[in-house]
Copies of this chain bind each other. A is one copy, B any other.
Amino acid sequence: MSAMELGKRFRCERLKDRIMPAETAALLVEDGDTVAVSGFTPSGCPKAVPLALAQQVRSGQRKLRLGLLSGASTGEEIDSAWAELGMIARRLPYMTSKALRSAVNGGGVEPVAYTDCHLGMVAQNARYGFYGKIQVAIIEAAAITEDGNLIPTTAVGCSQTWIDLADKVIVELNLRQPAELEGFHDIYRVQDPPLRQPIPLTSAAQRIGEPWLRCPVEKIAAVVISDLPEKPRPLAPEDEVSKRIAGNIVAFLKNEKAAGRLSADVCPLQSGVGSVANAVLLGLKDSDFEHLCFFSEVMQDGILDLIDAGKADMASATSLSLSEAGMARMLGKLEDYRGKILLRDSEISNSAEVIRRLGVIAMNTAVEADIYGNVNSSQMNGTSVYNGIGGSGDYARNSAVSIFMTNSVAKNGKISSIVPMVTHVDHCEHDVDVIVTEQGYADLRGLSPKERAVRIIENCAHPDYRPQLRAYFEAACAATNGAQTPHLLDRCFCFHEQMKKTGSMRIDNEE
């Protein structure tokens, strides 16, 4: 890194005296502080200062119990490193770290009070004062402008709100992140009531903000020059089941277009991460949809494929959740993607207002769905949280069409993803339009719960579980005299109880 190259990135003379090593900057964080970090998923998170904090605790130099706020999950350098050391007292809004998950569910060295949140509401709730004071914001930047404003890196998340609320800001100027990311961001500051105005976004491609995070120079307490690589999540492998789910989703989308309803080449798509989401993108590549457009919170490799193939015009997200190969590919020809990829605040990518206005077609993953169309996205046996609800509620509730997808079975067929009653509801029956498994899809729009049950059991459940599900439904209908949503409260979790007893939800010799 030449001095000239650093000068191009670090353009604010007034901040030159605030350069310090990560270890020194880390001392600005005090025990009991609430720390807010840039990024959304592992992308765009600070790395050097969080690792220095962890090292100070690991070495016994300091004791720290912190509140930790971020846009979504963070990189291993924060959630995992801190959770392993018992440094996290309070955490929101989302996680993917195994160590943190274990701590949140009671298996850590110290308890973690975890608040699972709609990602689109985190920044607003913080500004409204629901999460208390924020002492320190740690923001990763690709560059610092002449005025001290910050160019984000591979994600935006809630960074602008963290800067606005924090007493002091630590900037990690990460020289490993390409300087060419400048111009890929569109930062829009949402005002609060009673002054809030309409968010002027009317198409996924529109710019409504500025390319930087506004940050008063006097708030910046430290600038740490770092050179740490991001550790992207590996791309989920393609498998046969995912391909079949994707095929069913594409079939549904084609049918919508044929029926003259909202079409995937008119309305933007929301697409998450994981093998099914990626398989859907591949399926769309081979479909005859043209001019696709994405309005999502994360962007994974398949969207690059669609843009490269000329099938997609653009993608708006708050985070690049690319694989290592995908990130290298994108960064290798960043100029080709300029104007085709826009990274926004998660308050915009996950905005109820914008999602509903654009008519987004939402595709989210269910952990389990019940026969009446309620979806659990987050909790195993209603008890142990896996990752969290994430942005799925922002999209499912406000989309034009809300699709949930899941394998019909898990653990070699021992678990049915379609159950009589879900053990935790993240998305109520009113927020679920279509359920898709590798078996088929159930279009639930305009149906009563009892009509939905038939469609979900016959179209989505694995054939091995259909007899058990039919038996429950028929018994519940009989016992409740055909009420609106027939349930037997002493048997509604019979699948889960069976699993607990025998290691499988399957009842042999049923029917």
Chain A residues with CB under 8 Å of chain B are: 90, 92, 104-107, 111, 113-118, 124-125, 128-132, 192-194, 196-200, 202-203, 259-262, 266-267, 352-353, 356-359, 374, 379, 381-385, 389, 393, 397-398, 400-401, 421, 423-430, 433, 445-448, 450-451, 476, 480-487, 489-490, 492-493, 496-497, 500
Knowing that A125-B446, A130-B445, A381-B487 touch, tell me 13 more A-B residue pairs with CB under 8 angstroms: A111-B482, A113-B447, A113-B451, A128-B261, A132-B446, A193-B266, A194-B266, A196-B357, A352-B356, A352-B397, A383-B483, A489-B497, A490-B493
Distance from A404 Cβ to chain B, minimum over Cβ atoms (Å)? 15
Contacts of A131 in B (CB 8 A): 445-446
A194 and B424: CB pair below 8 A?
no
B383 and A480: CB pair below 8 A?
yes
Residue of B nearest to A132 (CB): B446
B106 and A481: CB pair below 8 A?
yes
A-B contact pairs, 29 of them (CB 8 A): A105-B484, A111-B482, A113-B451, A114-B484, A116-B429, A116-B430, A116-B484, A131-B445, A193-B267, A193-B357, A193-B359, A194-B203, A194-B267, A194-B358, A352-B397, A374-B425, A379-B485, A381-B487, A381-B489, A383-B483, A393-B428, A393-B430, A397-B397, A423-B489, A425-B425, A426-B428, A428-B428, A489-B493, A490-B497
Distance from A105 Cβ to chain B, minimum over Cβ atoms (Å)? 4
Distance from A403 Cβ to chain B, minimum over Cβ atoms (Å)? 14
Contacts of A90 in B (CB 8 A): 446, 448
| Given A383-B484, A448-B115; A262-B374 close (CB under 8 Å) | no
CA distance A445 to B267 in the complex (A): 34
Contacts of A111 in B (CB 8 A): 482
Contacts of A202 in B (CB 8 A): 196-198
| Given A193-B266, A352-B397; A260-B129 close (CB under 8 Å) | yes
Contacts of A379 in B (CB 8 A): 484-485
Partner among B113, B359, B393 whose Cβ is within 8 Å of the Cβ of A194: B359
Contacts of A352 in B (CB 8 A): 352-353, 356, 397-398
Distance from A304 Cβ to chain B, minimum over Cβ atoms (Å)? 24
Contacts of A358 in B (CB 8 A): 193-194, 196
A115 and B446: CB pair below 8 A?
yes
B383 and A128: CB pair below 8 A?
no
CA distance A446 to B115 in the complex (A): 6
Residue of B nearest to A202 (CB): B197
| Given A106-B480, A480-B383, A492-B382; A117-B430 close (CB under 8 Å) | yes
| Given A393-B430, A481-B107, A484-B384; A359-B196 close (CB under 8 Å) | yes
Residue of B nearest to A382 (CB): B487
| Given A106-B482, A374-B425; A383-B117 close (CB under 8 Å) | no
Contacts of A426 in B (CB 8 A): 428, 430
Contacts of A389 in B (CB 8 A): 428, 430
| Residue among A107, A131, A389, A429 with most chain B CB within 10 A | A429
CA distance A257 to B9 in the complex (A): 44
| Residue among A356, A381, A482 with most chain B CB within 10 A | A356
A198 and B198: CB pair below 8 A?
yes
| Residue among A384, A428, A445, A484 with most chain B CB within 10 A | A484
CA distance A447 to B132 in the complex (A): 11
Residue of B nearest to A204 (CB): B194
Distance from A426 Cβ to chain B, minimum over Cβ atoms (Å)? 6
CA distance A352 to B446 in the complex (A): 21
A113 and B448: CB pair below 8 A?
yes
CA distance A379 to B425 in the complex (A): 14
B430 and A483: CB pair below 8 A?
no
CA distance A177 to B379 in the complex (A): 52
Distance from A261 Cβ to chain B, minimum over Cβ atoms (Å)? 5
Contacts of A124 in B (CB 8 A): 356, 400
Residue of B nearest to A374 (CB): B425
Residue of B nearest to A356 (CB): B352
Distance from A266 Cβ to chain B, minimum over Cβ atoms (Å)? 6
